[in-house]
């Protein structure tokens, strides 16, 4: 299914892209919740983490390692950050193309809800 993120991958809509490989894309969230708020996505359209299989293990690992590298390049590796993957309604997922939020640049509260 085509989502807003597949349109960003195909350059059909603009995004502020900060990182790209053959398999991964990362861009600034349009509605940032912190000074740094990047979305890291596999180019493969996996709708939710529920849909990931053992075949996707390496790809999802690469998403996390990309987030780590981006955090370092943006200067927040030492101060710290959070990686978040929302899943379905109760998780607050609104775009059904697997993505990892990289959030940081300020002290984050730990209050899911
Ligand atoms: P979710 O709620 O699914 O975990 O996260 C989806 C994220 O995508 C939200 O934080 C939202 O602000 C972001 N988003 C939605 N539409 C766009 C868009 O067109 N461009 C960008 N850069 N981010 C978007």
List, for residues 54-99, the tens digit of each pLDDT value: 999 999 999 999 999 999 999 999 999 999 999 999 999 999 999 9
Q: Where are the domains of the chain?
A: 4-104
4-104 CATH? 3.30.428.10
**Structure confidence by residue, pLDDT tens digits, 87-113:** 999 999 999 999 999 999 999 999 877
27 in ligand 1 pocket by Cβ < 6 Å?
yes
72 in helix, strand or coil? Answer: helix
Question: At which residue do the structure tokens 């710290």 appear?
Answer: 80
Residue 99 annotated as catalytic: yes
| Per-residue pLDDT at 34 | 98
Residue 41 Cα, ligand 1 centroid: separation in angstroms? 11
pTM, two decimal places: 0.97
DSSP secondary structure letter of residue 10: T
Question: Of 39, 90, 98, 102, which is best to mutate to test ligand 1, by the most ligand atoms within 8 angstroms of its C-beta?
Answer: 39
Which candidate in 37, 97, 99, 101 is catalytic?
Answer: 99
């Amino acid at each position: 299914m085509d989502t807003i993120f597949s349109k960003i991958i195909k350059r059909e809509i603009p995004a502020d892209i900060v990182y790209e490989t053959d398999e991964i894309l990362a861009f600034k969230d349009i509605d940032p919740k912190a000074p740094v708020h990047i979305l890291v996505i596999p180019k493969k359209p996996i709708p939710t983490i529920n849909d990931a299989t053992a075949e996707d293990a390496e790809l999802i690992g690469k998403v996390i390692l990309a987030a780590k590298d981006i955090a370092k390049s943006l200067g927040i590796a030492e101060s710290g950050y959070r990686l978040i993957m929302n899943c379905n309604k109760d998780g607050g997922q609104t775009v059904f193309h697997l993505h990892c939020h990289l959030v940081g640049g300020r002290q984050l509260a730990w209050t899911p809800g």
